[in-house]
Amino acid sequence: MYIKITVIDRSGKAHELEAPTDITMNLMEVCKSYELPVEGTCGGIAMCASCQCYVLSNHPLEKKSPDEEAMLSEALHVKENSRLGCQIPMDKKLEGLRVELAP
């Protein structure tokens, strides 16, 4: 099963993506699979913030883990709606999710 999500890249262009929900993928991995400029240097373990994004839609996301909180406390360009893409697992409840990649 797939959901549609929108990712706004750093130049302001919106990309409508199809994200699978039947395999274990997170937002960072989906962005990388579409070759969007998300590094994911740490491989998705919340240790680098290179997949930081701003959640623009009002979706029920899982609570930030202590590791995600710690990484965001040290990252640049953090806003109230900042999340690490690697910590947002794709789920059918995220249909219509809109995010913007952080600088």
Residue 35: predicted pLDDT: 96
Q: Is the pTM of this model over 0.85?
A: yes
Candidates 21, 55, 17; CA nearest to 35 is: 17
The tens digit of pLDDT for each residue in 6-65 reads 999 999 999 999 999 999 999 999 999 999 999 999 989 999 999 999 999 999 899 999
The tens digit of pLDDT for each residue in 66-86 reads 999 999 999 999 999 999 999
CATH classification of the domain holding 56: 3.10.20.30
Q: Are 5 and 92 in contact (CB under 8 A)?
A: no
Question: pLDDT category, 5, cuts 50, 70, 90?
Answer: very high
Residue 85: predicted pLDDT: 97
- The partner residues of 53 in beta bridges, in order of sequence, read 83, 101
- What string of DSSP letters covers 52-83? EEEE-S---PPPPPHHHHHHHHHSSS--TTEE
Into how many domains does the chain fold? Answer: 1
Identify the domain containing residue 94 by its residue range. Answer: 2-101
